[in-house]
């Protein structure tokens, strides 16, 4: 390919995509617009910009320099938002520590990320005390606290956040540098092994922000995010930058509300008092909010909520809509910055059921996202709303690997596409619907069959209390399915009837013919993980041995 | 600055910002969505994608390769849109020829851009005939025509567009290449000298598109551009890619209407028949539409129109609004891709006058645009809605110079900011308002004074028919102002009264004290340019000599 790059005049400014440039318009249009922290503090955008400069000066004074890693351990706060900007804008890396991990795992991530500095909320001091003798890389700690009281701790601090800011100049000339400079790092937790680090450059975060603005802004009505919304995250800022929405909200220059540690009471009061119109959370958090007495009392008809992290159950979606909430789904993962798809309803003429159906789908790609749904040979599966394959993806904001982990990085990116491990189908309107994790799919004679679909059918059978369908290796078919069934007390299940039941769905074309191979095993209990999910990995190991 | 670039796994895909990626979501969400050409042809997005591939194959067959320059001479058409994609996606440069230039100027641009191929509408064959003996670089011509009839011409063609497409495969595997590869070139016409070439890379066009989507999408209401709009350009596609909006519209996957050669009748009929909701044009074109009998008959209350290229007169804005049209201004220039600012009304509580005032302003920067308003020392002028300075700008999509023109390139970019030559003020809500071209500003004792402001006052004085205020060199003050006045028939103007009139505005603080230096000269006529604008350059030369 012959090169025909644009010529740059000597004096011409080559504009890098840096996080500092997200503070250009429209973020500056209304300097009086507010950033609110719980019921405790309010700052204007003008003050926010000054505080970002003060933080940069304070960190520089303490010794932070370009290339250093600065970790933050805090609940969602105005401070965290200031760190989202000041730390990367210095050329340093922001490590958003997952404070839900065990102390040993946190120690592992601090070590692995090679944190040079840690900004820590006083609430996490007991946690740090447990591991502090073994932290080798950290030079200084900075104390974050809401009150004034000196905390009891054996740690020493370079200073307290607010005092440091107060002593620092409110102007800072942030330098230009390569847009591929690492801006952030954080750790994902799988079901096996230690946490894996992902990382994002300035360019990636800027492009994720722009594409997110374009996707959320240009929908006609449902799930729109615009310049007059009021934003409050309910996905932690340590988790994939609160899905990147704080960068979008700040770029829009809108009012933002940071709720600190999540409690249903505080969250609902803030939505009401600060007139929050746009949030995002996982289904379990929404469930907590919906179960709180305040939920029924409040008018939430101006609230839009983006659900991700797990499939949005239809019942939950319907209940939220009945309350007047504009609810919809999105999809992404830690490795993808995260947003890949959004499930916006763009057709006003749908029936209520169709509308509900779309809101609970995985969604359609946002601009620049190239999603393929492929079989094991990386060939596209048919776009028919039925055929399933693995979601593989390209976008300008995907983690280019796992930090210092060559083997897992190559596996993530095999074939030049990021492998999500999610199995999905796609319909003719480009809506994607995840049906399984790839490890839970049963592959019979080259065909991929959803274990969840079979489980749904079996759950409806009289007397079946609990069920898990797993796949076991098979010489002839590759894999064959096994249903583990816990019978309800006082029931007895006739296996022949059950086979007949399953065959009736095969006959109707509702499930694959290959399900004829399904075997049943009646068990006392089904193994779960520590958070209550069916542990299919363990079940496969257990029953594979028994069947050998 | 220590380098801490993100590490790329060997297999990881590094995503370049290429025009082909604008054909990802949401452009693909509805393959049945239409692209319409006048009252003559309709294509679906599915067909559009196939035709882009067919065009790429046809061009490759004819000999177009990466790095070549392919010129297009056409009115706004589906063909032009296909060229917007296929030509750059091959790694070639699209030269959008300004067919309004004189044959000699067109020859100059073909030569200067080193065009290798020209796609030419049969209407422009007589023009090409005039210069064809002197075109040195072009290897092949391709004929564009709406009908089937063989045109009378001495030129020979590699083929006719539709026939070539029909013979070509509808799939093409477009390669990846450096995102800074030049994608487009076109020529600006100043008042002096030959046209100057500007140029834009793939990266620049993608970022302009994303930022434009974000800016136009996230406004609450006025001047929104969303996924259910119907788009028709009324700024030619040869002029700064029709302000880049075809790339935005295609990315949104919306219905598009290309009107061919502009005639008020056809434009208004298309708006009506195809239910066009979003367009853009210069004030003179809108004036033509508003003067057409059809204009009053049609319901245009769903039409949004972005005005640029010149200030939107308040009277025109008001008349359009009375017709129910959502009208607003934008600002940019050929050198800036072009969009820099948009004048969206974001406050619903404004009075009608305030609302009107904002729609006619130059606007607020779109995301990533860094605009400064500076004095001659490149220092920011106060943000008070009054102090004026030159608009200088940085954005990721500014032409990095003029093609093969070192001297003008350096002048454009002196001090690391692109100099627009426009003089403006900015208010506390970040709205910019252009008051002058820099060459029409009067600089007295270091202060910049708008000649237009003084002209406005003088125009209102009884008996003054026409007025132009220019500046002449002055040893003491740097410059001093001179008002050239054409008196209306049967009027006689007393100069002392006129001085008193001007002084009353100085006393009220409405114009600068320095205007006390204003001299008057009563003349028979004021010199104009060929397009009817006051020729201040000529006036300055003329009256400078007289005053010497």
For A86-103, what is the mean pLDDT?
96
Distance from CA of A28 to the nearest CA of B (A): 7
Q: How far apart are CA B299 and CA B447, in angstroms?
A: 48
What is the tens place of the pLDDT at every residue in B125-149?
999 999 989 999 999 999 999 998 9
User: How far is C-alpha A345 from the geometric centre of its chain's CA atoms?
Assistant: 21
Q: What is the pLDDT of residue A77?
A: 98
Q: Categorize the per-residue pLDDT at B10 as very low, low, confident or very high, splitting at 50, 70 and 90.
A: very high
B531 confidence band (pLDDT: 50, 70, 90): low
Q: What is the mean pLDDT of residues B276-294?
A: 95
- What distance in Å separates the CA atoms of residue B540 and residue A252, rounded to the nearest whole number? 45
The answer to whether B57 touches B30, Cβ cutoff 8 Å, is no
> pLDDT value at position A36?
98
Nearest Cα to B329, choosing from B259, B339, B399, B337? Answer: B339
CATH 3.30.300.30 domain range(s) in chain A: 441-547
Which pLDDT band, with edges at 50, 70 and 90, does B532 fall under? low
CA atoms within 13 A on the CB side of B246: 26
Confidence at residue A382, expressed as pLDDT on a 0 to 100 scale: 95
| A372 among known catalytic residues | no
pLDDT of residue B62: 98
The residue ranking higher by pLDDT, B3 or B103, is B103
Contact status of B220 with chain A (Cβ, < 8 Å): yes
Integer-rounded Cα Rg, in Å, for chain B is 25
Whether residue B502 lies within 8 A of chain A, CB to CB, comes out as: no
Which residues 354-383 in chain A show a CB within 8 A of chain B? 364-371
Q: How far apart are CA B138 and CA B110, in angstroms?
A: 8
Query: Percent of chain B at pLDDT above 90?
Result: 80
Contact B181 A7 (CB under 8 A): no
Residues 6+ apart with CB under 8 A from B383: B426, B427, B428
Q: Is A47 considered catalytic here?
A: no
Of A7, A370, A400, the CB nearest to B6: A400
Considering Cα of A218, then A220, then A222, then A227, what sign does the dihedral take?
A: positive
User: Tokens representing A350?
Assistant: 């749908």
Q: State the virtual CA torsion across A418, A420, A424, A427 in degrees, nearest 10.
A: -40
Nearest CA distance, A362 vs chain B (angstrom) = 14
- B248 Cα to chain A: minimum distance (Å): 10
Sheet with A41-44: strands ordered across: A41-44, A34-37, A255-258, A230-231, A278-281, A304-307, A326-332, A339-342, A364-365
Test mutation, A8, A10, A367, chain B, max B CBs within 10 A? A367
d(CA B267, CA A541): 70
Is the model more confident about A194 or about A409? A409
B60 catalytic? Reply is no
Q: Which residue has the higher pLDDT, B538 or A197?
A: A197
Closest residue in chain B to residue A209, using alpha carbons only: B214
What would the mean pLDDT of B478-490 be, rounded to a whole number? 92
Q: Express each pLDDT in A324-336 by its tens digit.
A: 999 999 999 999 9
Do residues A70 and A119 touch, judged by C-beta distance below 8 A? yes
- B181–A6 CB contact, under 8 Å: yes
**How confident is the model at residue A530, as a pLDDT?**
65
Contacts of A17 in chain B (CB under 8 A): 207, 396
SS3 A346: coil
Percentages helix, strand, coil for chain B (3-state, rounded to 5) are 35, 25, 40
pLDDT grade, residue B216 (50/70/90)? very high
How much is the mean pLDDT over chain A?
Answer: 93
Q: How far apart are CA A67 and CA A63, in angstroms?
A: 12
- Residue B548 — pLDDT band, cuts 50, 70, 90? very low
pLDDT of residue A525: 93
Name the architecture of domain B441-547.
Answer: 2-Layer Sandwich (3.30)
Q: Among A1, A2, A8, A9, which would you mutate to test the B interface (most chain B Cβ atoms within 10 Å of its Cβ)?
A: A9
* The two three-digit tokens of residue A542, written as one number: 């257990």
- A68-86 mean pLDDT: 98
- B410 catalytically annotated: no
Residues of chain B positioned with their CB less than 8 A from the CB of A410 = 9-11
Mean pLDDT confidence for A230-246 = 97
In tens, the pLDDT along A472-501 reads 888 888 888 999 999 999 999 999 999 999
Q: Which is nearest to A150 in space by CA: A138, A160, A162?
A: A160
Judge whether A258 and A43 are in contact, CB under 8 Å: no
Size of chain A, expressed as the number of residues it contains: 548
Query: Which listed residue (B235, B277, B448, B479) is catalytic?
Result: B448
SS3 A448: strand
| DSSP, residue by residue, A404-438 | T-HHHHHHHTGGGSEEEEEEEEE-TT--EEEEEEG
Tell me which of A175-184, A390-399, B101-110 is least confident: B101-110
- Chain A, 76-115: which have a CB under 8 Å from a chain B CB? 91, 93
Q: How near does any CA of chain A get to the CA of B334, in Å?
A: 16
B99: DSSP letter: T
Confidence band of B510 (pLDDT split at 50, 70, 90): confident
Report phi then psi at B468, rounded to 5: -140, 130
Alpha-carbon gap, residue B116 to B127, rounded angstroms: 18
At residue A535, the pLDDT reads 85
Query: Which whole number is the average pLDDT over B444-459?
Result: 84
Asked if A411 reaches chain B (Cβ–Cβ under 8 Å), the answer is: no
Architecture of domain A19-426: 3-Layer(aba) Sandwich (3.40)
Mean of the per-residue pLDDT values for chain B? 93
Q: Is B264 helix (H, G, I), strand (E, B) or coil?
A: helix
Percent of chain A predicted with pLDDT > 70 = 98
A350, pLDDT greater than 60 = yes
Per-residue pLDDT of B317-351, as tens digits, reads 999 999 999 999 999 999 999 999 999 998 888 99
Residue B445 or residue A308, greater confidence: A308
According to CATH, where is 3.40.50.12780 located in chain A?
Answer: 19-426
Q: What is the pLDDT of residue A548?
A: 43
Per residue in B148-205, pLDDT tens? Answer: 899 999 999 999 999 999 999 999 999 999 999 999 999 997 656 789 999 999 999 9
Angle at CA B291, nearest 5°, toward B333 and B76? Answer: 45
B251 contact residues in A (CB cutoff 8 A)? 214, 367
Mean pLDDT over residues B376-400, rounded? 95
> How far from A373 is each of A66, A311, A447, CA to CA, in Å?
40, 18, 14
Considering only CB atoms, A210 lies closest to which of B28, B31, B211, namely: B211
pLDDT band at A298 (very low <50, low <70, confident <90, very high): very high
Q: What is the pLDDT of residue B423?
A: 94
**pLDDT over threshold 60, residue A509:** yes
Determine the length of chain B: 548
Work out the minimum CA distance from A249 to partner chain B, whole angstroms.
11
Number of Cβ within a 10 Å radius of residue B95:
28
């Amino acid at each position: 390919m012959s090169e025909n790059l644009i010529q740059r005049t000597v004096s011409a400014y080559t504009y890098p995509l840096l996080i500092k440039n997200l503070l250009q318009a429209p973020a500056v249009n209304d300097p009086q617009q507010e950033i609110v922290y719980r019921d405790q503090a309010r700052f204007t955008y003008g003050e926010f910009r000054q505080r970002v400069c003060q933080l940069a000066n304070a960190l520089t004074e303490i010794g932070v320099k370009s290339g250093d890693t600065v970790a933050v351990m805090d609940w969602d706060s105005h401070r965290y938002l200031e760190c989202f900007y000041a730390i990367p804008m210095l050329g340093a890396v922001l490590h958003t520590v997952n404070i839900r991990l065990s102390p040993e795992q946190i120690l592992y991530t601090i070590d692995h990320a090679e944190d040079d500095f840690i900004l820590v909320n006083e609430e996490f001091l007991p946690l740090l005390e447990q591991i502090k003798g073994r932290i080798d890389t950290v030079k200084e700690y900075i104390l974050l606290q809401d009150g004034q009281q000196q905390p009891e701790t054996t740690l020493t601090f370079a200073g307290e956040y607010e005092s440091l800011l107060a002593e620092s100049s409110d102007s800072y000339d942030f330098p230009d540098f390569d847009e591929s400079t690492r801006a952030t790092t954080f750790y994902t937790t799988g079901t096996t092994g230690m946490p894996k680090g992902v990382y994002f450059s300035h360019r990636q975060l800027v492009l994720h922000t722009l594409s997110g603005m374009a996707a959320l802004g240009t929908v006609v009505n449902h799930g729109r995010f615009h310049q007059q919304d009021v934003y409050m995250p309910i996905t932690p800022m340590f988790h994939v930058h609160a899905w990147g929405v704080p960068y979008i909200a700040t770029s829009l220059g809108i009012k933002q509300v940071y709720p600190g540690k999540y409690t249903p009471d505080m969250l609902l009061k803030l939505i009401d008092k600060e007139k929050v119109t746009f949030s995002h959370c996982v289904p379990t958090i929404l469930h907590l909010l919906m179960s709180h007495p305040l939920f029924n009392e409040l008018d939430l008809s101006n609230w839009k909520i983006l659900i991700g992290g797990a499939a949005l159950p239809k019942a939950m979606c319907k209940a939220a809509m009945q309350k007047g909430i504009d609810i919809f789904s999105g999809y992404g993962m830690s490795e993808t910055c995260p947003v890949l798809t959004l499930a916006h309803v763009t057709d006003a003429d749908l029936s209520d059921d169709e509308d509900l159906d779309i809101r609970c789908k995985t969604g359609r790609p946002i601009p620049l996202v190239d999603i393929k749904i492929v079989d094991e040979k990386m060939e596209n599966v048919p776009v028919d709303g039925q055929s399933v394959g693995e979601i593989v993806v390209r976008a300008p904001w995907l983690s280019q690997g796992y930090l210092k982990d060559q083997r897992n990085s190559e596996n993530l990116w095999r074939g030049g596409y990021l492998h999500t491990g999610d199995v999905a189908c796609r319909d003719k309107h480009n809506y994607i619907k995840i049906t399984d994790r790839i490890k839970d799919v049963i592959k019979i004679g080259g065909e991929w069959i959803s274990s969840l679909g079979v489980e749904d059918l079996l759950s409806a059978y009289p007397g079946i209390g609990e069920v898990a369908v797993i796949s076991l290796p098979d010489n002839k078919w590759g894999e064959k399915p096994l249903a583990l069934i816990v019978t309800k007390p006082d029931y007895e299940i006739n296996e022949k009837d059950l086979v007949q039941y399953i065959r009736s769905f095969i006959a109707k074309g509702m499930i694959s013919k290959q399900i004829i191979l399904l075997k049943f095993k009646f068990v006392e209990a089904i193994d779960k993980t520590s958070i209550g999910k069916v542990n299919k990995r363990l079940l496969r190991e257990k029953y594979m041995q028994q069947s050998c």
